[in-house]
Amino acid sequence: MDRYRKRRLNPRFVILCAILAALTLAVIAAGISRLLGGGAPPAEDVPVPDYVERDYLSVNEWSRPGEALKKIRGVVIHYVGNPGTTARANRNYFESLSDGKLATYASSHFVIGLEGEVIQCVPLTEIAYASNSRNEDTVSIEVCHPDETGVFNDAAYGRCVELTAWLCREFHLKPEEDVIRHYDVTGKLCPLYYVEDPAAWDAFLEDVAAEVEALEAAEADAAKNS
């Protein structure tokens, strides 16, 4: 064997080094993204699932200030607190605040109705007035409910799981850490039933986590078949 050959790098060693370097970079990138907490919202409004009807509020001081949502670090779940009302009625209530006569600040990115219908009131690039100190870094979901217990019916519950899971995927959030109740921000009894029954809240988070896994599996399948 000549000396020149001995000094040459084994191509397999070079490939191994390249793979290790790539893996290291990926781990560092994931770490930085975790430190920053969630993904930044896109400069433009992202496409939402088909079941979401977009009907944005007019930009106004009371329910859609038009302020940029710079970072999405969580999803906050609410109940509307007004039994039997529809998603449409709640969306229109937020719009009605725009004249300032009620001097009330309120809105939500999404409202889920009793039949599982979803209306988006505020773009994901802007803040809504729903979650107090967390307005600036969370997406809000208001859920309609049939009676004063605040229990979500099956249609609204299923849709809330689905939409929350979609948001977790889209903005790189963890259901068990980043999905919270309004109660967790201010101590307000909202969403009432899921504050009074912590086991029901834990079950909701588990359902969201399972749905995230199902979405991931479906995406992996689609990628394989494309």
Separation between Cα atoms, residue 200 and residue 152, nearest integer Å = 11
**Which residue's CB is nearer to Zn ion, number 78 or number 145?**
78
Closest approach, Cβ 190 to Zn ion, in A, equals 3
Sheet of 118-120, strands arranged across: 52-54, 118-120, 110-112, 138-143, 74-79, 179-181
Contact 143, 155 (CB under 8 A): no
Q: Which residues of 94-124 are buried (b: 16+ CB within 10 A; e: fewer)?
A: bbebbeeeeeeeebbbbbbbbebbbbbbbbb
Per CB under 5 A, which of residues 30..59 are in contact with Zn ion? none
Residues in the chain: 226
**Which residue's CB is nearer to Zn ion, number 190 or number 205?**
190
Closest approach, Cβ 185 to Zn ion, in A, equals 9
**Which residue's CB is nearer to Zn ion, number 139 or number 212?**
139
Separation between Cα atoms, residue 76 and residue 104, nearest integer Å = 20
Closest approach, Cβ 188 to Zn ion, in A, equals 6
3-state secondary structure of 28: helix
Tell me if 109 contacts Zn ion by CB under 5 A: no
Using CB under 5 A as the criterion, what x/- string covers residues 73-92 for binding Zn ion? -----x--------------
Contact 135, 64 (CB under 8 A): no
Per CB under 5 A, which of residues 166..195 are in contact with Zn ion? 182, 190
Closest approach, Cβ 47 to Zn ion, in A, equals 27
Closest approach, Cβ 182 to Zn ion, in A, equals 3
Total site size for Zn ion, rule CB under 5 A: 3
Q: Of the listed pieces 48-56, 57-65, 70-78, 216-224, which binds Zn ion according to CB under 5 A?
A: 70-78
Interface ranges with Zn ion (CB under 5 A): 78, 182, 190
